[in-house]
């Protein structure tokens, strides 16, 4: 009976976590679409990936970016299913569909009038919020499609910077905007490319900031009267190893077990929540570590 209740709780927790991930992804997709349609596109600035290609198509033909984004990503979805698994593929389809909807919706509402006419400030804001939101989507197991799919495939086999890799792939797309505005002088077109590059640099930096920030690790020491129960829950729910260290409390002169666990920074609060549920009187020490290498963490390079 107890085992059945545990299974039900685990399934419920898994479902709630998945719902939370989709909610976070949806908000981030709206932020990305807002950054593009309110700051970048109206100021004739271009980003990278499928969104950048869709923007070029919009400038040339007037076709809504939402339609182009959805169409171009349809083929790339097949790769995410085969290489990254069906869960990633399902979330990617969801991301692409919702993002295409937000792009079409916001573009119809905002139009071609920029929220901020200062191109440098627009590049900083549009690129910054879009890059950070993109990083959060990666952490939630999703992708906005396009170049992101290629980036995730490469990151699966190589430990590289997501932001820098995406930036390198997008340089060619941004450079192609030089040939779009033929009615502008050469200097003006170069100026637009520079502003677009600024936005893309900011986007890449914010993407790395969101992504690598979550990969920071902490070392936790837990002093509790229920070490076995807490250790089991950390192993079963957080899926992290726990080491029990034998110690002696100098004030009480009593032997006690100290739990030591190394977890991701984002996993710190769930661990503290477990400790609080099992032993509200427990003492927890959290320390940031410079680097953690091995199974479940960073790969040890040659």
Average pLDDT over residues 222-247: 90
| CB-CB contact of 270 with 220 (8 Å) | no
For position 25, what pLDDT does the model report?
Answer: 92
pTM of the model: 0.65
217-288: CATH class: alpha beta
Least confident of 60-69, 73-82, 247-256, 262-271: 73-82
Query: Taking the C-alpha atoms of 46, 49, 55 and 57 in order, what is their torsion angle to the nearest 10 degrees?
Result: 130
- The pLDDT of residue 59: 82
- 233 versus 114: the higher-pLDDT residue is 233
Map 3-24 to HEC letters: HHHHHHHHHHHHHHHHHHHHHH
Query: Which residue has better confidence, 239 or 31?
Result: 31
* Each residue's pLDDT tens digit, 243-300: 999 888 788 788 888 999 998 877 888 898 899 888 988 999 988 776 666 666 666 5
Residues 6+ apart with CB under 8 A from 133: 27, 28, 29, 31, 32, 35
Average pLDDT estimate for 232-238: 90
CA distances from 76 to 8, 44, 79 (A): 36, 27, 6
Decide if pLDDT at 124 tops 80. Answer: yes
Lowest mean pLDDT among 7-16, 63-72, 75-84, 105-114: 75-84
Tokens representing residue 112 in the block: 């071609």
Q: How far apart are CA 145 and CA 98, in angstroms?
A: 12
pLDDT at position 128: 93
Q: What percent of the chain has pLDDT over 90?
A: 19
Predicted pLDDT at 298:
64
Q: Measure Cα distances from 14 to 8, 9, 262 in Å.
A: 10, 8, 23
Rounded Cα gap, residues 102 and 106, in angstroms: 6
Name the more confident of 71 and 105. 105
Cβ neighbour number for residue 170 with a 10 Å cutoff: 23
Q: What is the mean pLDDT of residues 52-59?
A: 84
| Residue 87 confidence class, pLDDT cut points 50, 70, 90 | low
Sequence-distant (6+) residues with CB within 8 A of 166 are 48, 49, 147, 148, 151, 204, 207
User: 72: closest CA among 90, 54, 86?
Assistant: 54
CA–CA gap between residue 230 and residue 222 (Å, rounded): 9
| pLDDT value at residue 302 | 46
> Residue 299's CB: how many other CB atoms inside 10 A?
9
Inter-CA distances, 148 with 130, 131, 215, 256, Å: 13, 12, 19, 49
Residues of the chain with CATH 3.30.70.120: 217-288
Q: What is the pLDDT of residue 297?
A: 63
User: What tens digit of pLDDT does each residue of 152-178 get?
Assistant: 666 666 666 666 776 677 787 888 777
Range with the poorest average pLDDT among 117-131, 140-154, 174-188, 262-276: 140-154
């Amino acid at each position: 009976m107890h085992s059945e209740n545990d299974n039900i709780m685990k399934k419920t927790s898994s479902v709630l976590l998945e719902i939370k991930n989709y909610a976070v992804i949806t908000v981030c997709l709206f932020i990305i679409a807002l950054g593009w349609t309110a700051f970048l596109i109206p100021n004739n600035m271009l980003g990278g990936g499928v969104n950048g290609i869709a923007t070029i198509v919009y400038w040339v033909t007037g076709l809504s970016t939402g339609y182009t984004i959805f169409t171009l990503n349809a083929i790339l979805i097949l790769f995410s299913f085969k290489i990254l698994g069906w869960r990633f593929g399902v979330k990617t389809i969801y991301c692409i569909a919702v993002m295409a909807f937000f792009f079409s919706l916001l573009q119809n509402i905002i139009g071609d009038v920029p929220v901020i006419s200062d191109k440098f400030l627009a590049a900083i804001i549009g690129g910054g919020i879009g890059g950070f939101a993109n990083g959060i989507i990666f952490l939630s197991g999703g992708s906005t499609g396009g170049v992101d799919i290629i980036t995730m495939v490469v990151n699966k086999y190589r430990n590289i910077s997501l932001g820098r890799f995406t930036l390198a792939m997008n340089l060619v797309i941004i450079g192609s905007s030089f040939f779009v505005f033929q009615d502008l002088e050469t200097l003006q077109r170069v100026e637009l490319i520079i502003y677009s590059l600024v936005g893309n640099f900011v986007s890449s930096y914010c993407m790395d900031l969101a992504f690598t920030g979550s990969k920071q690790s902490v070392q936790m020491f837990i002093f509790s009267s229920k070490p076995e129960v807490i250790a089991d829950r950390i192993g079963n729910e957080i899926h992290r190893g726990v080491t029990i260290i034998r110690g002696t409390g100098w004030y009480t002169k009593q032997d006690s077990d100290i739990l030591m666990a190394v977890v991701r920074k984002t996993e710190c609060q769930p661990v503290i929540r477990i400790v609080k549920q099992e032993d509200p009187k427990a003492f927890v020490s959290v320390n940031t570590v410079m680097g953690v290498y091995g199974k479940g963490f960073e790969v040890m390079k040659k």
